Amino acid sequence: MAITRDEVAHLARLSRIALTDAELDHLAPQLDQIITAVAQVQEVAAEGIPPTSHATGLVNVYRDDEPRPCLTPADALSQAPAVEQQRFRVPRILAEE
């Protein structure tokens, strides 16, 4: 079953895509190849194979969310190149109006 130039033109009209004659002539064989490839994939014997969404099983790779000790504000600011009002001082990136 080959897709014709007229069918491509019809699809383009339905999609509201303006295609030139040259584009229609170029796209028709390409779409035909795509449809043929999809048809070949559908012919694969898949009986007895359960449908899957992933090639491997999914496993949660996140660690448990448990509280742990962290830096105090003083420790965090102690290595900062510039501090202002107990905050990291950074260069201004927005001009004030």
CB 89 within 8 A of CB 77: no
Output the pLDDT for position 1. Answer: 65
pLDDT, tens only, 11-51: 999 999 999 999 999 999 999 999 999 888 888 877 888 87
pTM: 0.45
pLDDT at residue 96, as a whole number = 73
Give the integer Cα–Cα distance in Å for 67 and 47. Answer: 49
Cα–Cα dist 73/67, whole Å: 17
Return all residues near 32 (Cβ < 8 A) that are at least 6 apart.
2, 3
In the predicted structure, residue 85 carries a pLDDT above the cut 80? yes
Residue 5 has pLDDT above 70, yes or no: yes
